[in-house]
Each structure stands twice: as C-alpha cells, then as structure tokens.
Amino acid sequence: MATPPDFTAGQVLTAAQMNKVGLWLIKTQTIGTGVTTTTVTDVFSADYENYRIIVAGGASSANTGNNNMAITLGATTTGYYQSALSYSYAGATAAITVNNGAAWLCGGQTTSGLNMILDLFRPFATDETFMSFSYSVMSTTGYGLPGAGYLNNTTSYTAFTITSLATTTHTGGTVYVYGYRD
C-alpha cells in the first residue's frame, strides 16, 4: 500500500490511517447578510486541544478605522492580550497591541473581503488560551499583520464570536473551524 496521503482508488482506509489525519473540519459557517456579529457555537470540545479558524470571502459594509474585526470567546470581554507589529503597504509602522482589552483584533475587513487565519490553543481546557494570527487589509492603503497573544483566564470555551467595527456589518464569507489532531 502506498504511504498516505497517496491513496489509491478503491482503497479501504484503516482506523490507524484515518487517525493520522492531522486537521479535521469541525464546522463550516456561512456569514449572513448585514450582521454585526457571527457566533459559531459548539466547536471547541475535548475532541481536540488546538484549533485553526479561517475566515474568507464576503465583505464589510464600509472601510473605516483599522479595517479589522474582533474575536471574543464565549461571553468574555476582558483579559485579552496581543502584540502585533508590521508595516502598512506604504511602509508605515502598523501595530495593534491589546493590553487587557475587550477582544483580540485578529482579522481584516474591507469592502473587498473578510480574512483571518487564527490558531487557537486550548480554548476548551480550563487554562489560559493562547493564539497566533495573521490577516491582511484588502485595500491599497491597508496593511498586513501577524501577531500573537493570549486570554488571561482559565475558563473553558465552546464558542467564539466575530464582531465587526462600529457602523459596519458583514455580509457573506465563510468561517471554517478545524481541529488539530492531538
């Protein structure tokens, strides 16, 4: 037998082979029309310790502020920390630091689209949750930003919420939640 992932047509996969699948799609959520927040429930569990969340497509209703969007876990709006330093496309310093803030700011939103790559570590565990992320602001005056941070509490979470900037809403796009095999 070929070594996975070079499977052959008609091949029967064993549990041992399937258990080596490293990234499992837990949930796909399409963002609706003109929504301020999108909450994705029941995605974090004892099944996986670490997760990858992708947001792609759709659009913001307007370009404003830092053209970014927020992530919160559960109903928590305090204790978020992150540091992120980069440059705008024009070469100006681009930094977004969160010091005991109300959310992580780890996604980009413009009228051209929404995007986010977020790795979330141990959100279900009764321990601090840490994360790393990157996003780009799809605008000629925008910026790209990688960063990392953590949530300073020991709460166990099962859900997260994406929030748009004030006076903006999100329409369309897809949220993908994957679990990393332990």
Partner 1 sequence: MADPIIVQIDDVERPATAKEKAMIQVVQDFMASLPIIGEPEAGE
Backbone phi, then psi, for 178, in 5-degree steps?
A: -115, 150
Q: Which of 11, 14, 39, 45 binds partner 1 (CB under 8 A)?
A: 39
**Could you tell me where the DSSP H helices lie in the chain?**
15-18
Q: Does 143 bind partner 1 (CB under 8 A)?
A: yes
Q: Does 68 bind partner 1 (CB under 8 A)?
A: yes
- How many Cα atoms occupy the beta-carbon half-sphere of 47 within 13 Å? 15
The C-alpha atoms of residue 37 and residue 162 are separated, in whole angstroms, by 5
The C-alpha atoms of residue 11 and residue 23 are separated, in whole angstroms, by 21
Q: Which of 4, 35, 49, 54 binds partner 1 (CB under 8 A)?
A: 35
Nearer to partner 1, 12 or 92 (CB): 92
Q: How far is the CB of 8 from partner 1 (least distance, A)?
A: 38
Question: In the window 94-133, what residues touch partner 1 (CB under 8 A)?
Answer: 94-96, 101-103, 105
Q: Which long-range contacts (CB under 8 A, 24 or more apart) does 28-32 make?
A: 28/174, 28/175, 28/176, 28/177, 29/174, 29/175, 29/177, 30/172, 30/173, 30/174, 30/175, 31/58, 31/114, 31/162, 31/170, 31/171, 31/172, 31/173, 31/174, 31/175, 32/171
Q: How far is the CB of 156 from partner 1 (least distance, A)?
A: 19
Q: How far is the CB of 23 from partner 1 (least distance, A)?
A: 22
Q: Which of 26, 38, 130, 157 binds partner 1 (CB under 8 A)?
A: 38
Q: Does 26 bind partner 1 (CB under 8 A)?
A: no
Q: How far is the CB of 50 from partner 1 (least distance, A)?
A: 22
Q: How far is the CB of 5 from partner 1 (least distance, A)?
A: 31
Q: Does 28 bind partner 1 (CB under 8 A)?
A: no
Residues lying near partner 1 in the complex (CB under 8 A) are found at 29-41, 65-66, 68, 70, 72, 75, 77, 88, 90, 92-96, 101-103, 105, 141, 143, 163-166, 169
